[in-house]
Structures are given as structure tokens and as C-alpha cells.
Structure 1
Amino acid sequence: MESLPRETLVDALESRLREDILTGRHPAGGYLPPERTLADGYGVTRTTLKHAFGRLMQAGLLETRHGVGTRVRDYLRLGGADLLPMLVRHSPDWLGEVFEVRRSIGALIAERAAGRASERQRTELAALLAAVGEAADADAVQLADVEVHRALARATGNRVYVLLTNTLFNAYLPVRAALRAPFTDAGVARGRLEPVVAAVRSGDEAGARRAAEQYLTVTERIMLEGLA
């Protein structure tokens, strides 16, 4: 099998640069040292450095100004939610903030879905809920649960809710193996989620909000206890 030392080195450098940016060694808003100086400091070639720069630019952490240099973006001021997966992997502190938004947005989505869902969407929610109870293992249960929440967002008729839901799941799905505790028993997981789906299917907006708040609070607590 052909080895890929260059890619391996680029991966390592990207990770090191990202860590140095997020920990403040290269502060937001400041320019990085000249490429030659930086490459020598990290013990890599300028070609390797440019590859790593390209990835970090795509991630939204760096920007290059022709003739001026490469600057660390102020990602907290200028960045978008697409940075969340990377930030959650970098620091678990971000996960608590993701969960806070998950609670508030999830409850609102359930309320809106109860008032707006079509008959076809109500039927789809029932089928997706059943799939949670029939899933084979914790990972499958967790992913089936995710699909219920995506369907709730679609049922609001508001595409921004759909994108926000996708963003929140994208933030913590990369670390989902550590968050499986609420999903180890398929029947119990289905039972927790059932009141949300039932309220949405019956058109009970206030009930859907309460049920979602309860569900999201309980599952968050279980997840965080599992991490602890």
C-alpha cells in the first residue's frame, strides 16, 4: 500500500496550527509570522505550510491578504455556525453551549411543528419514532432519534429551522460515541421521545413545547453525566 507522508504531515501541521490559534498562541486579528519563519519554526516546508493554510482558510480560521500576509480571523466576531464541529472537538466547554441552544431551539421547533405539520408529516413522524424503538444498537438508536428531530424541523415549514437543526447535530455528532447514554435502550429512548411526537401529531402546540423541553433537558443531563 502506498504511504502518504505528505498528507500525514499536513494533517499534523493543520492540527498544530489549529490548536495554536484556538488557544491564543496566534491571537485573533493578528498576522502570522512570515511563511519561511513559520515553516522553519514548525520544521516543515513552505509547501506543507501552504497546504495546511488552505485547510484552515476553508475552515474559517485564517485569511490571506495578497502582499500583506496571513491573518488569524476573529472567528467569534466573524465566524459562522459551521465552525462548531471543530470547536466542540477542540474543547468540551463548547458542548454545554450547544446543548443550551439545543434546548431553546428544539422546544420552539416542536411548538411550531405542532401548529404547522401536514398530515403526511405527522405520518412520517410516527414512522420515524417507531424506527427509534426498532433500532439495533445505541448508535443506530441515536441516529434514528436525530432523524425524528430533523423531521420536526421540516414540519415547521421554515427552512432556517432545518438548517439550525443540521448545524446543532453537525456540532456534536462527530463526538456522538461519548453521548450514547440516553440511547442504550431502544424502547426507553422511544418512550422518552413519544410525548413530543404525540403532541405534535395532535396539534397541541403548548404541549409539544413542554414535552420537547422535558425531553431535551433529560437527555442532556444523561449525556453530560455520561461524559463526567
Structure 2
Amino acid sequence: MEALPRETTVDVLEKRLREDILAGHHPAGSMLPPERELADRFGVNRTTLKHAFGRLVHSGLLETRHGVGTRVRDFLRLGGADLLPMLVRHSPDWIGEIFEVRRSIGALIAERAAARATAAQIAELRALMTAVGDADGGEDVQLADAEVHRALARATGNRVYVLLTNTLFNAYLPVRAALVEPFLDARAAHDRLAPVVEAVAAGDEEAARVAAGAYLSATERIMLEGLAASRERRDGAQ
């Protein structure tokens, strides 16, 4: 078996600093203590600290200015949706807010797809639906289901919907295994999603919007129940 990568000192330090920032120990807009002080506090050299800072700058949590220092960035005011996977890793509470966006955007995407899908796109959607029903195992069904939603976004003809769909799926990645419950039964997953695709294929915008809303609400409930059960098992094992 391939050996799992080990955490480096930079990895550990980045994680500690990130958790401190997201937990509010270093508020938005505040300056971090001087590098020498932080290096002494964590027992690392300044080169290691600079590498960790560089990663946090890249992720949008810090900003540095030569001769001024390192400031905590106001990511809620200045950040983008690319921060969501990191925020979900820090706190699964973000999932509820992601699901709220998922419901509204997903229903709108289905409605737009019903109005704009081409014959080729409808054929693709039906082929992808077959793949959902034929998939083996929860993870494979989950991934096949995701491809249907990506195809629905493409069928709108609006590339921003495609990027938003990708962003929401990326946000699930840190807790994806705990959200697999709706996909354990491939046939049930297929039948749950099929009304959305059929309404899109029929060009019925209202039916597509309603079907998508029902699908998204049902899967959200199942996923949140699975996530809660996963937390209970984890807490019980500690």
C-alpha cells in the first residue's frame, strides 16, 4: 500500500493559525503579533512561519505588507465562494447555509434548463440518469448524481450557473462521506431525481422548478440526518 503523507511542521502550524483565525481569536482587521513572537510561541523558526503565512495568504485569510506586518483579512466581506470548503472543514454548521443556497439555486437552474435545454442536452441528461440507476455503491451513485446536476447547469446556457454548481459540490467535499445517505440505494436515488429531468425534457419550467425543490428538500433532510448521526457516532467514540 502507498504510504499516507505525513503532516509537516508547516502543515500543523498552518492548521493551528487557520483555526485560531476562524474561531475569532484573531479578529478580522487585526494585526498578528510580530513574526519573532509567534515563532517563539509555536516553537518554530521564522522560515517555517513564513511558509505557513504564505499558505494562509493564498487561501484568503491573511494579507501581508512589507514593513507593516500581517493582518487578518475580513474574509466575510472580501472573500469568495472558494473559501467554502475550508470553512466547512472548520465548522460543519456552514452546511446548513450551503443547503439554503443549494435549494434556491438548484430550483432556478432546473427552471432555466427546462426553458433552454437542447435535444442533445436532454439526451445527455437521460444517459446520466441511467448511470445513476446503474451505479454500484453510495459513493458512485453520489458522483453520478452530481454529474446530472452539472449537466442541468450546462443546459441553462449560463456558465455562471455551472461555476456555482461546481462551487457547491466542492463545498461538500470535506464532509461528503457523511452526506452519502440519499445515495445508498441507486434505484431510489434515480427515482428521486428522475422527475426533475423529465420536466426539463418536457420543457415545463414550472414543473421543473417544483420537482427540483422537492428533490433538493428531500435529499437535504436525509443528508442532514446522516450528518447528525455521523457526529453522534464520532462523539460517542471519543
What is the TM-score when the length of structure 1 is the normalising length? Answer: 0.97
Partner of 2:170 in structure 1? 170
Aligned to 2:86: 86
Equivalent position of 1:204 in the other structure: 204
CA displacement 1:178-204 (0-9 Å, x = unmatched): 000000000000000000000001101
* 1:25-174 matched pairs, under 5 angstroms: 25-174=25-174
**Deviation digits for residues 69-99 of structure 1 (CA, Å, limit 9, x no counterpart):** 0100000000000000000110011000000
Query: Alpha-carbon deviation of 1:2?
Result: 11
3-state DSSP of counterpart to 1:63: strand
The DSSP-based 3-state class of the residue aligned with 1:136 is: coil
Structure 2 segments unaligned to the other structure (5+ residues) = 229-238
Q: Provide the residue aligned with 1:179 in structure 2.
A: 179
What corresponds to 1:14 in structure 2? 14
Instruction: Provide the identity percentage.
Output: 75
Q: Secondary structure at the match of 1:33?
A: coil
Cα distance in 2 for residues equivalent to 1:2 and 1:95:
31
What is the letter of the counterpart of residue 162 of structure 2? V
**Amino acid in the other structure paired with 1:124:** E
Distance (whole Å) between structure 2 residues aligned to residue 125 and residue 4 of structure 1: 38
Q: Indicate whether 1:220 and 2:220 are aligned.
A: yes
Secondary structure in 2 aligned to 1:207?
helix
TM-score (normalised: structure 2): 0.93
How far apart, CA to CA, are the structure 2 residues paired with 1:188 and 1:203? 24
CA drift of 1:17 comes to: 0.3
- 1:16-64 deviations in Å (ceiling 9; x for gaps): 0000000011111111011010111111111111111111111000000
Moved >2 Å (runs of 4+) = 1-5
What is the alpha-carbon distance in structure 2 between the residues aligned to residue 227 and residue 30 of structure 1? 34
User: What is the rounded CA distance, in whole Å, between the counterparts of 2:174 and 2:106 in structure 1?
Assistant: 20
Q: Secondary structure at the match of 2:218?
A: helix
SS at match of 2:28: coil
Deviation at 1:173, TM superposition (A): 2.2
Distance in 2, matches of 1:224 and 1:110, equals 23
Q: Deviations 1:86-115 (Å, cap 9, x if unpaired)?
A: 001100110000000000000000000000
Counterpart of 2:108, as a letter, is: L
> Aligned Cα RMSD in Å?
1.6
Distance 2:169 2:59 in 1: 18
In 2, the alpha carbon distance for the partners of 1:144 and 1:23 equals 35
Call closer, same or farther: CA 1:53–1:181 in 2, change over 3 Å.
Answer: same
**Do the aligned partners of residues 52 and 216 (structure 1) sit closer, same or farther apart at CA in structure 2, a change above 3 Å counting?**
same
- CA–CA separation in structure 2 for the residues paired with 1:14 and 1:188: 42
SS at match of 1:64: strand
Q: Distance in 1 between matches of 2:38 and 2:173?
A: 34
Letter in 2 for 1:134: D
Following superposition, the deviation at residue 66 of structure 1 comes to: 1.4
In the alignment, structure 1 segments of 5+ residues that lack a partner are none
Aligned length: 227
